[in-house]
Amino acid sequence: MSMSTPMSAPAKVVEYFEPEDLPVGRITRLLVEIAHDGLSRPIQLPVLVARGAKPGPVFGLTAALHGNELNGIPVIRRLLGRLDPKALRGTVVGVIVVNVPGYLNHTRYFGPWDLNHMFPGHAEGNAASVYVNRLLERLVCKFDFLVDLHTASFGRVNSLYVRADMTNERAARMAYLQRPQIIVHNPPSDRTLRGAAAELGIPAVTVEIGNPHRFHRDYIKRTLTGLRSVLAREKMIRPRAVKLGPPPVLCDRSHWIYTDHGGLLEVFPGVTDRVESGEAVARLTTPFGDLIADYEAPDTGVIVGHSVNPVAETGARILHIGFPVEDGDPRFHQREPVAQDGADPPPTARDSGEG
C-alpha cells in the first residue's frame, strides 16, 4: 500500500504540558506520558498545541475520555489544522485521545472503570485514579477554560447537545456559542472532568456530538463552527460571519426513563422531537410479541437521546428527556445578541445567575 504523503516528524515526548516551553507562532505535536502498561511501555496522550504569536488564554479541548466516543477527534484535528498560530492570541490545546487504553480496546471504559466517574483521582490510588489525577496535574490545570467532547454510548443515539452550568456566566456563554440543538443545565459533578475543572476554577462545558464509534459529519462540522465562535468571542481569533441556525432548546433538567421489565423495546420519538405529557414514547414486548408495557412521557419535554438497542433487560434505558424552560428564565444566563461569529455583542444589562 502506498501513502500519498510522508509521515510528519515525530511528536515531542513530555511528562508535563508547559505552554511557555513551546515555540511561539507554531503548532506542536506532543505525546504526554501519563502512565505505563504491564509491559513497562509508556501510555502517552496525543496532544496538538497551537501557541499563538500573541499572549492570551489557554483554551483546552479533550476527546475520547470514553474510548469509543470518537467524534471529538476530527473536531480537534480540523480546528487545530485550520488555525493560523501567527495570528492567534493565546494557546489552543487539543488532547486528541484521553483514554488511550479504552480507545485501543474499542471500549468506553478504562479496564473496569468509567474515567468520568473517577475525578479528581489520587496520586496513590488505583490505575484509573492515578490516570485521571495525572491528567489534571500534567495537562488540565494549565487551561483557562475547557470543552470536553463526548458522544452517546453504544446502543444509544444523541442529539447535538451541551451540558453546562447555566448559572455560570462564562460556561453559559460557551454553551450558547456552540449553537447546539439542546442545552441541559447541569451543575458539574465533582467526579467528572467538568466538575474537576470547575473545582480548579476553570469554566467547562461538555458537548455531546451524536453517536459512538462513528464519525457524525454534520455534528462534527457544527461543533467545529461553535468552537471557532468561542475562540472569536475570547478574542483569540478574528470573527467571521456565519449562518446562524435556530436557537437551542434550553432545559433546566433532564433524566432517563428506564424499563421495569425485560423484553424487546421499540422507541417511538427521535432525537430533538417534542413530546407531550402522557404521550406514548415506547413499547416493550415479549419475544412472542405479547405486550409487556407501554411507556409514556412523564411531562412535556424534548428528546435529548434514546436507546436504539431493541434487546432490553430490566432497568434498560429507554430515552433521555429534557424539560424546556421559557425564554428569559431568570434563573439562567441568556443568549447574547451576536451579529457575527464571536463578535462583541451590543451592551446589555447583566442577565441572571451567578458568574
The predicted-structure confidence for 316-339, as pLDDT tens digits, reads as follows 999 999 999 998 999 999 987 654
Which of the four pLDDT bands, split at 50, 70 and 90, describes residue 140?
very high
Q: In Å, how far are 214, 233, 240, 246, 336 from 343, measured between CA atoms? A: 33, 6, 8, 18, 10
Q: In Å, how far are 76, 229, 254 from 221, measured between CA atoms? A: 11, 13, 26
In three-state secondary structure terms, 169 is helix
**Residue 290 within a domain:** yes
276 and 188 together in one domain: no
pLDDT of 338 reads: 53
CA–CA–CA angle 109, 302, 255 (5° rounding): 45
Whether pLDDT at 350 is above 70: no
Report the phi/psi class of residue 63: left, alpha or beta, with left for phi > 0 and alpha for psi in -120 to 50: beta
**Residue 338 within a domain:** no
167 and 260 together in one domain: no
The grid coordinates listed for 100 are 488511550
**Number of structural domains, the chain?**
2
* Beta bridge partner(s), residue 30: 12, 47
| Residue burial 14-35, b: 16+ Cβ < 10 Å; e: rest | beebeeeebeeeebbebbbbbb
Phi, psi of 113 (to 5 degrees): -105, 145
Nearest to 321 by CA among 263, 255, 248, 233: 255
**Residue 190 within a domain:** yes
Whether pLDDT at 111 is above 90: yes
pLDDT, tens digit, 9 for 90 and up, residues 27-74 = 999 999 999 999 999 999 999 999 999 999 999 999 999 999 999 999
Domain boundary among 173, 199, 233: 233
Alpha helices in 234-291 (DSSP H): none
229 and 129 together in one domain: yes
Whether pLDDT at 8 is above 80: no
In three-state secondary structure terms, 134 is helix
Phi, psi of 100 (to 5 degrees): -65, -45
HSE (CB half, 13 Å, CA atoms) of 351?
A: 20
User: What CATH number is attached to the domain comprising 270?
Assistant: 2.40.50.100
267 and 157 together in one domain: no
pLDDT of 352 reads: 26
Q: Report the alpha-carbon distance of residue 132 to residue 118 in Å, rounded.
A: 7
Stated pTM of the model: 0.91
- Arithmetic mean of pLDDT, 130-138: 98
**Which residue range(s) make up the domain with 191?**
12-233
211 and 263 together in one domain: no
pLDDT of 7 reads: 56
87 and 160 together in one domain: yes
pLDDT of 344 reads: 45
User: For the chain, what percent of residues have pLDDT higher than 70?
Assistant: 92
313 and 173 together in one domain: no
Q: Report the alpha-carbon distance of residue 310 to residue 8 in Å, rounded.
A: 45
**Residue 250 within a domain:** no
121 and 156 together in one domain: yes
**Residue 138 within a domain:** yes
29 and 159 together in one domain: yes
CB 231 within 8 A of CB 59: yes
**Residue 114 within a domain:** yes
pLDDT of 353 reads: 28
Domain boundary among 233, 264, 286: 233
Cα 249 → chain centroid: 17
Q: Give the sign of the dihedral formed by CA 15, CA 117, CA 148, CA 337.
A: negative
pLDDT, tens digit, 9 for 90 and up, residues 218-250 = 999 999 999 999 999 999 999 988 777 889 999
Nearest to 203 by CA among 227, 228, 232, 167: 167
Q: Which residues, in sequence order, are CB contacts of 240 under 8 Å at separation 6+?
A: 228, 232, 340, 341
157 and 102 together in one domain: yes
Whether pLDDT at 355 is above 50: no
User: What CATH number is attached to the domain comprising 196?
Assistant: 3.40.630.10
Residue appearing with cell numbers 509491559: 39
Alpha helices in 8-124 (DSSP H): 72-82, 100-104
* Beta bridge partner(s), residue 183: 162, 250
Number of separate helices (H) and strands (E) present in the chain: 6, 18
116 and 16 together in one domain: yes
**Residue 240 within a domain:** no
220 and 95 together in one domain: yes
**Residue 348 within a domain:** no
CB 150 within 8 A of CB 209: yes
Q: In Å, how far are 38, 62, 231 from 198, measured between CA atoms? A: 33, 15, 19
Whether pLDDT at 6 is above 70: no
Q: Report the alpha-carbon distance of residue 70 to residue 87 in Å, rounded.
A: 29
